[in-house]
Amino acid sequence: MVVNAGLSLRAVNGGQGNWIELVQQHIQAGSNFLLILPNTGRAIREFCKMFGYEDGCMPKTLTRGEFFLLSQFVDSDDFDEVLRAWDDDHQVVYVEQLDFPINQPPRLSNYIRYSPVFGIVSEHDDERDAKRALSRYENSDHVHPTTRRAAIYRWNEDRWKMIED
């Protein structure tokens, strides 16, 4: 699993026909994204199921203020789509891969290199490999300095925990 961190934060519209397939692609890539969900029970049930939550979960919706803090990373077309979604009384969820039960070992390795904006950049079986990958990533010329912030996380029994240097 590798995310191309040079790309924009994308939005998936849960009101469009192929939205479940698009969400599955993001899950497989480990990428964070914005999910526009209609305020319907069916859409929320699908959300819970896709991310390994119990039926009846409540997605944590994004406020406009939180969205504007992320807006520098959002593609302009997706930015407009999110604003229209709020006008249409939809909810917007910032899907952060680190939070979901489906993204735990054994599905993932015990160490991940994670960007709080773009998601899981890579996974590793060994802490040294993860730290070498982080160093290469942070010193990369093709990744813009404001988007290359990432850290190493280790699975710790019931959650991901950032490794402090």
Residue found by looking up tokens 């490794």 in the block: 163
Q: What percent of the chain has pLDDT over 90?
A: 39
C-beta atoms surrounding 73 within 10 Å: 17
CB 126 within 8 Å of CB 144? no
CB 129 within 8 Å of CB 123? no
* Domain limits, the chain: 11-97, 111-162
- Fill in the amino acid letter for 121: V
Model pLDDT for residues 97-144, shown as the tens digit of each residue: 888 888 889 889 999 999 888 889 899 999 999 999 888 877 776 555
Measure the CA–CA gap between 97 and 114, rounded to whole angstroms. 9
Tokens of 153: 């996380």
Element holding 147 (H helix, E strand): none
Model pLDDT for residues 27-43, shown as the tens digit of each residue: 888 899 999 999 888 88
